Amino acid sequence: MIRVVVVEAWATELDDLCGRIGGRFGRTEPRRRVGEYVSGLVAGLERKNGWTLAERAGERSPDGMQRLLRRADSDVDGVRDDVRGHVVDRLGDPDAVLIVDDTGFLKKGTRSAGVQRQYSGTAGRTENCQIGTFLAYRSRWGHALIDRELYLPESWTDDRDRCRAAGIPDEVEFATKPRQAIAMLERAIEAGVPFGWVTADEAYGQAKYLRVWLEERRRAHVLATKRNDTVITASGGDGRVDELIAALPARVWCRISAGPGAHGLRDYDWARVEIRVRAFWEPGWGHWLLARRHRTSGELAFYVCYGPRRTSLARLAVVAGARWPIEECFVRHEAA
């Protein structure tokens, strides 16, 4: 009985989503096929690619699915907005966390837009791949992706002929991953997406212009950074984050769970220290350097934080831990 209810709930969700995005396609065939495509993505298939999705839909070849992705007349950004609206309707919460992260999609050849040998988090090494930058939404109700950008290395944006051959418009210029994060966050803010915090790993947190952009808009954040990053200390000077944490007394460390993981609760030791001169704090807002220490290895991770002045250490730890579930959102096998 429970399984039936869950399946029926999934069917209702898929019908609603496909109903939203169906109007973004100009013809009946792609409107029908996009429903089969989305259903296949959430099905329990061992591999998700053009062949397996087509077979699940009862088609003899992957041509239709590939045509849907590559040549169908559709409003791609409109579909993105519809998906975001669907997620917010289901998971919306003013205390939600927006999560920025990127992942790699392994590729063969040199023609796919943005492909080159670069580090792939999926493979854990440098591979020939494309890189996507993503924005995820996490609340107490669940989590899902709501936006994406394809990362184009300078080797691509400096070669306009290569870009045109891959269908990349001339107006698309090089943008760092933190700049892509800003573009996605800006779209979320303009769309009125409810959220309380932003978090990301050190590839984004060490970009000080991203931290400044968020502060200027009074958007609370917990952004990971490298141990050799520098911040303005409470006394007004500059300090390395690892040295500031090393100077903390043992009594300030607290054991806090950052939330459930694949193997149970993620319990770590946490500590924070105020940064920035208090006299320059905005009314009602505060700045902290946060550290996470592994209970057995002693390995440290560091975060630069900005948020409501009365934010607790436990709240910062939970926001820092909110980033991990984004990996569950990434489709590890290409659907093309």
The yes-or-no verdict on residue 257 having pLDDT over 60 is yes
Choice among 23-37, 154-168, 183-197, 281-295 with the minimum mean pLDDT? 23-37
The yes-or-no verdict on residue 38 having pLDDT over 90 is no
The yes-or-no verdict on residue 123 having pLDDT over 60 is yes
The yes-or-no verdict on residue 2 having pLDDT over 50 is no
pLDDT tens digits along 244-255: 999 999 999 999
- Mean pLDDT, residues 52-59 taken together: 87
3-state secondary structure the chain: CHHHHHHHHHHHHHHHHHHHHHCCECCHHHHHHHHHHHHHHHCCCCCCCHHHHHHHCCCCCCHHHHHHHHCCCECHHHHHHHHHHHHHHHHCCCCCEEEEEEEEEECCCCCCCCCEEEEECCCCEEEEEEEEEEEEEEECCEEEEEEEEEECCHHHHCCHHHHHHCCCCCCCCCCCHHHHHHHHHHHHHHCCCCCCEEEECHHHHCCHHHHHHHHHCCCCEEEEECCCCEEEECCCCEEEHHHHHHCCCHHHCEEEEEEEECCEEEEEEEEEEEECCHHHCCCCEEEEEEEEECCCCCCEEEEEEEEECCCCHHHHHHHHHCCCCHHHHCCCCCCC
Choice among 21-30, 158-167, 210-219 with the minimum mean pLDDT? 21-30
The yes-or-no verdict on residue 134 having pLDDT over 50 is yes
What is the band of 263 on the pLDDT scale with cuts at 50, 70, 90?
low
The model's pTM is 0.89
The yes-or-no verdict on residue 23 having pLDDT over 90 is no
pLDDT tens digits along 188-201: 999 999 999 999 99
Determine the pLDDT at residue 33.
82
Averaged pLDDT score across all residues of the chain: 88
- Mean pLDDT, residues 107-111 taken together: 90
Determine the pLDDT at residue 47.
80
The yes-or-no verdict on residue 8 having pLDDT over 50 is no
The yes-or-no verdict on residue 330 having pLDDT over 80 is no
